[in-house]
A and B are shown apart, each in its own frame.
Chain A
Amino acid sequence: MGKTETMKRFKGSMLIAIAVMIFGALVLPGAQAHAVSSAALSIVPKKNYTIEPGKSVNDTLTIRNLDAERDLELSLRVVDFTFTDDGGTPKLMLDEDAPRTAWSLKPFLSVPKAVKVAPNGSETVDMSVSIPSNQGAGSFYSAIVYSSGASDGGNVGLSASGVTLVFTTIPGEVNEDLQLRQFGAYHLNKRQYKYFNTSAPDALAYTLKNNGNVTAAPVGTITLKYMFGKEQDINNVNPNQSLALIGQERTFTACIKLKTQDVEFYDGRSRSTSCTTPTLWPGYYSLKMNLFYGQNGNRTQEVTGAGGFWYLPWWFIIAFIVAIAAVAYYSSKTYRAIQAKLYGGKPKRKSRRR
Chain B
Amino acid sequence: MHHRLIRAHKLVHALHYAGPEALLSMVLAIMVFASPASAAMRFQERSLYMLSTEPGVTTSYTVSFQYMSQLSVGSVDLLFCDDPIPYHPCATPPGMSVANAELAEQAGETGFSITQKSANHLVMSRPLQMVTANAPSSYTFTNIKNPTNNDISFSIRLRSHASQNATGPQIDFGSVKGQTQTGITIQTQVPPMLIFCLAQEVAYNCTGTNDIYYSNMGELSPNSTLTARSQMAVGTNASGGFAITANGGSVSAGTSVIDGSPVPIESRPGTNQFGLNLVANTSPVVGENPEGEYANAVASPDYSIPDKYKFVDGDIVAFSPNVSLMKKYTVSYILNSRADLPPGVYSTTINYIATGRF
CA distance A48 to B355 in the complex (A): 15
Give the residues in chain A near B16, CB-CB below 8 Å: 335
Give residues of chain B (170-203) contacting chain A, Cβ–Cβ below 8 Å: 174-179, 181-182, 188-200, 202
CA distance A338 to B16 in the complex (A): 13
B349 near A299: Cβ-Cβ < 8 Å:
no
A156 near B228: Cβ-Cβ < 8 Å:
yes
Give the residues in chain A near B241, CB-CB below 8 Å: 88, 240
CA distance A335 to B16 in the complex (A): 9
Residue of B178, B230, B236, B355 with highest tally of chain A CB at under 10 A: B355
CA distance A84 to B239 in the complex (A): 19
B84 near A296: Cβ-Cβ < 8 Å:
no
Knowing A90-B355, A299-B47 touch, does A44 contact B192 (C-beta < 8 A)? yes
CA distance A94 to B247 in the complex (A): 10
Q: Is residue B12 contacting chain A, with contact meaning CB distance below 8 A?
A: yes
Q: Is residue B353 contacting chain A, with contact meaning CB distance below 8 A?
A: yes
Q: Is residue A283 contacting chain B, with contact meaning CB distance below 8 A?
A: no
Q: Is residue B333 contacting chain A, with contact meaning CB distance below 8 A?
A: yes
A45 near B192: Cβ-Cβ < 8 Å:
yes
Q: Is residue B212 contacting chain A, with contact meaning CB distance below 8 A?
A: yes
Give residues of chain B (48-62) contacting chain A, Cβ–Cβ below 8 Å: 48-50, 53, 62
Contact size range, A: 35 or more
Q: Is residue A213 contacting chain B, with contact meaning CB distance below 8 A?
A: no
Knowing A274-B296, A294-B47 touch, does A45 contact B356 (C-beta < 8 A)? yes
* Closest Cβ–Cβ distance, residue B294 to chain A (whole Å): 9
A296 near B178: Cβ-Cβ < 8 Å:
yes
30 contacts between A and B (CB under 8 A): A25-B345, A40-B199, A40-B202, A41-B196, A89-B355, A90-B355, A150-B351, A155-B214, A156-B348, A156-B349, A157-B214, A157-B347, A159-B352, A160-B353, A162-B355, A215-B358, A233-B85, A240-B322, A253-B321, A263-B237, A268-B189, A269-B189, A270-B323, A271-B189, A272-B323, A288-B36, A290-B84, A292-B177, A299-B47, A338-B9
CA distance A68 to B49 in the complex (A): 50
List the one stretch of B72-80, B110-118, B150-158 in contact with chain A: B150-158
A158 near B199: Cβ-Cβ < 8 Å:
yes
A145 near B53: Cβ-Cβ < 8 Å:
no
Knowing A159-B351, A221-B88, A269-B188 touch, does A151 contact B214 (C-beta < 8 A)? yes
CA distance A129 to B150 in the complex (A): 21
Q: Which residue of chain A has the shortest Cβ distance to B316 in the bound complex?
A: A89
Q: Is residue A92 contacting chain B, with contact meaning CB distance below 8 A?
A: yes
A271 near B323: Cβ-Cβ < 8 Å:
yes
Q: Is residue B238 contacting chain A, with contact meaning CB distance below 8 A?
A: yes
A162 near B196: Cβ-Cβ < 8 Å:
yes
Q: Which residue of chain A has the shortest Cβ distance to B242 in the bound complex?
A: A45
Q: Is residue A188 contacting chain B, with contact meaning CB distance below 8 A?
A: yes
B207 near A66: Cβ-Cβ < 8 Å:
yes
CA distance A50 to B180 in the complex (A): 10
Q: Is residue B69 contacting chain A, with contact meaning CB distance below 8 A?
A: no
8 Å CB contact of A45 from B45, B82, B88, B355: B355
A45 near B189: Cβ-Cβ < 8 Å:
no
Q: Which residue of chain B has the shortest Cβ distance to A220 in the bound complex?
A: B84
List the one stretch of A11-19, A27-35, A96-104, A316-324 in contact with chain B: A27-35
Give the residues in chain B near A66, CB-CB below 8 Å: 195, 197, 206-207
* Closest Cβ–Cβ distance, residue A352 to chain B (whole Å): 24
Q: Is residue A214 contacting chain B, with contact meaning CB distance below 8 A?
A: no
CA distance A67 to B212 in the complex (A): 13
* Closest Cβ–Cβ distance, residue B254 to chain A (whole Å): 10
Q: Is residue B342 contacting chain A, with contact meaning CB distance below 8 A?
A: no
A214-237 vs B: 1/0 string, CB under 8 Å? 010001110000000000010100
A133-165 vs B: 1/0 string, CB under 8 Å? 000000000010101001101111111111111
Give the residues in chain B near A272, CB-CB below 8 Å: 237, 322-323
Which B positions have Cβ atoms within 8 angstroms of A?
2, 5-6, 8-9, 12, 16, 36, 45-50, 53, 62, 82-85, 88, 151-153, 155, 174-179, 181-182, 188-200, 202, 206-209, 211-217, 226, 228, 230, 232, 235-243, 245, 247, 251, 296, 314, 316, 319, 321-323, 325, 333, 335, 344-358
Which A positions have Cβ atoms within 8 angstroms of B?
25-26, 29-30, 33, 35-36, 38-46, 48-50, 66-70, 84, 87-92, 94, 143, 145, 147, 150-151, 153-165, 167, 169, 188, 215, 219-221, 233, 235, 239-243, 245, 253, 263, 265-274, 288, 290, 292-294, 296-300, 306, 335, 338-339, 341-342
Q: Which residue of chain A has the shortest Cβ distance to B136 in the bound complex?
A: A299
8 Å CB contact of A162 from B200, B323, B354: B354
CA distance A110 to B217 in the complex (A): 41
* Closest Cβ–Cβ distance, residue B136 to chain A (whole Å): 9
A89 near B47: Cβ-Cβ < 8 Å:
no
B240 near A242: Cβ-Cβ < 8 Å:
yes
B351 near A155: Cβ-Cβ < 8 Å:
no
8 Å CB contact of A68 from B9, B208, B238: B208
Knowing A155-B346, A342-B5 touch, does A92 contact B50 (C-beta < 8 A)? no
CA distance A150 to B206 in the complex (A): 19
Q: Which residue of chain A has the shortest Cβ distance to B50 in the bound complex?
A: A296
Q: Which residue of chain B has the shortest Cβ distance to A268 in the bound complex?
A: B190
* Closest Cβ–Cβ distance, residue B316 to chain A (whole Å): 6
* Closest Cβ–Cβ distance, residue B188 to chain A (whole Å): 6
CA distance A241 to B239 in the complex (A): 8
B358 near A157: Cβ-Cβ < 8 Å:
no
Taking A40-B198, A91-B314, A296-B48 as known contacts, 7 extra A-B pairs with beta carbons closer than 8 A to each other, sorted by chain A number, are A33-B214, A154-B215, A159-B352, A188-B321, A241-B239, A296-B181, A297-B47
CA distance A36 to B88 in the complex (A): 58
B333 near A156: Cβ-Cβ < 8 Å:
yes
Give the residues in chain B near A145, CB-CB below 8 Å: 353
A155 near B85: Cβ-Cβ < 8 Å:
no
Knowing A67-B208, A161-B351 touch, does A46 contact B240 (C-beta < 8 A)? yes
A274 near B322: Cβ-Cβ < 8 Å:
yes
* Closest Cβ–Cβ distance, residue B139 to chain A (whole Å): 14
A235 near B9: Cβ-Cβ < 8 Å:
no
* Closest Cβ–Cβ distance, residue A210 to chain B (whole Å): 12
B193 near A266: Cβ-Cβ < 8 Å:
yes
A300 near B213: Cβ-Cβ < 8 Å:
no
CA distance A48 to B12 in the complex (A): 72
